């Protein structure tokens, strides 16, 4: 494309809420055939709310919420924010956490009121969930909730359910991607049942769930080895390595600085329709010239 055509395209993109970093990004955008979408904060709003609290028999509900809130107060995760907000609304005060450790893609741990607390995916727990809680977990997950387990001193204390909402235009954006001949894939560190519930809601049938940040990179590498030209759309710290590995990285403008730095395109609006917009624009700008 001529410099003038590129300049015009960059201006058009900006009006569509798409910031392009460098001229070569437009070339990769045109060639993309596979779009890997992160779930939390990309397909969903990422503004999570606490939907349910279920203490194990013998555990006090307020104690469960206060202890979980104390650990999560030190975390930057969207799940943590939901739990802390609810805990502050319901309770007079939260305890302080000591020796806090974030476990990316899994959860967090720390010491609260002398107890060793672990919070996050059930895979972090020292023991399997008791049957009653396991049943509840499956029920919540099949409804698209993210289930957070809480354990202290090596025994399960209860479950929390966190709810997120799919962005209003996410399904329309996926339909547009298909019309453009692209293959959409949903990628998440969240559990498989929750991921499938969200995928179904937006019309994606290919789901890769329960992956750690490095697993996101490996998926991109695998697709590229199969000859696919891969775009990744993400927002989190956990998406940054995959954004950098992809042929084209697209970061949500609302996302973390590391994700924005790793990306080639920045989507200023929350709206995922900017993804098919960008691809259509790149095809139009470069398609006729070469």
Catalytic residues: 38
- Residue 242 or 282 with smaller CB distance to ligand ADP: 242
Nearest approach, Cβ of 142 to ligand ADP (angstroms)? 15
Among 108, 231, 262, 265, binds ligand ADP (CB under 6 A): 108
Helix %, strand %, coil % of the chain (to 5): 45, 25, 30
- For residue 122, state whether it binds ligand ADP (rule: CB under 6 A): no
Region binding ligand ADP by CB under 6 A among candidate stretches 186-194, 198-206, 221-229, 244-252: 186-194
Distances in Å between the Cα of 167 and the Cα atoms of 2, 39, 54, 107, 288 are: 37, 10, 27, 24, 34
For the record, the structure tokens of 205 come out as 């049938």
Side by side, the strands of the sheet bearing 146-152 are: 49-55, 155-163, 146-152, 115-120, 107-112, 97-103
Residue in this structure with the two tokens 């104390």, named with its chain if needed: 70
State which of positions 194-253 bind ligand ADP (CB under 6 A): 236, 238
Among 95, 146, 245, 256, binds ligand ADP (CB under 6 A): 146
- By the 10 Å C-beta count (0-12 exposed, 13-18 middle, 19+ buried), 82 is classed as buried
In whole angstroms, what is the distance from residue 238 CA to residue 184 CA? 19
- Residue 38 or 277 with smaller CB distance to ligand ADP: 38
x/- letters, 34..53, toward Mg ion (CB under 5 A): ----x-xx------------
In whole angstroms, what is the distance from residue 98 CA to residue 91 CA? 20
SS3 label, residue 138: helix
Among 75, 95, 245, 285, binds ligand ADP (CB under 6 A): 75
Residue nearest to ligand ADP (CB): 189
Residues that bind Mg ion (CB under 5 A): 38, 40-41, 235-236
Residues that bind ligand ADP (CB under 6 A): 38-40, 72, 75, 77, 79-80, 105-108, 119-121, 146, 148, 188-190, 236, 238
């Amino acid at each position: 494309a001529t410099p003038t055509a590129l300049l015009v395209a960059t201006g058009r993109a900006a009006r569509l809420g798409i910031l392009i970093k460098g001229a070569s990004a437009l070339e990769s955008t045109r060639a993309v055939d596979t779009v890997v979408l992160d779930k939390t904060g990309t397909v969903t709003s990422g503004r999570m709310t606490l939907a349910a609290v279920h203490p194990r028999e013998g555990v006090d509900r307020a104690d469960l919420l206060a202890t979980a809130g104390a650990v999560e107060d030190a975390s930057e995760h969207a799940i943590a924010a939901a739990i802390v907000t609810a805990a502050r609304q319901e309770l007079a005060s939260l305890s302080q956490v000591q020796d806090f450790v974030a476990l990316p893609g899994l959860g967090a741990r720390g010491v609260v009121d002398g107890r060793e607390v672990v919070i996050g995916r059930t895979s972090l727990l020292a023991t399997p969930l008791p049957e009653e809680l396991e049943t509840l977990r499956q029920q919540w997950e099949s409804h698209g909730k993210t289930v957070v387990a809480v354990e202290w001193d090596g025994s399960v204390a209860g479950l929390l359910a966190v709810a997120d909402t799919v962005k209003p235009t996410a399904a329309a954006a996926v339909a547009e991607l298909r019309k453009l001949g692209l293959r959409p894939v949903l990628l998440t560190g969240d559990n498989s049942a929750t991921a499938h519930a969200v995928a179904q809601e937006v019309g994606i049938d290919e789901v890769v769930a329960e992956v750690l940040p490095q697993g996101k990179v490996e998926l991109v590498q695998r697709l590229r080895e199969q000859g696919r030209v891969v775009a990744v759309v993400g927002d989190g710290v956990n998406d940054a390595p995959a954004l950098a590995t992809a042929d084209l990285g697209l970061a949500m403008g609302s996302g973390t600085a590391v994700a924005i730095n790793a990306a080639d395109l920045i989507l200023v609006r929350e709206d995922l329709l900017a993804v098919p917009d960008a691809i259509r624009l790149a095809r139009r700008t470069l398609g006729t010239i070469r």
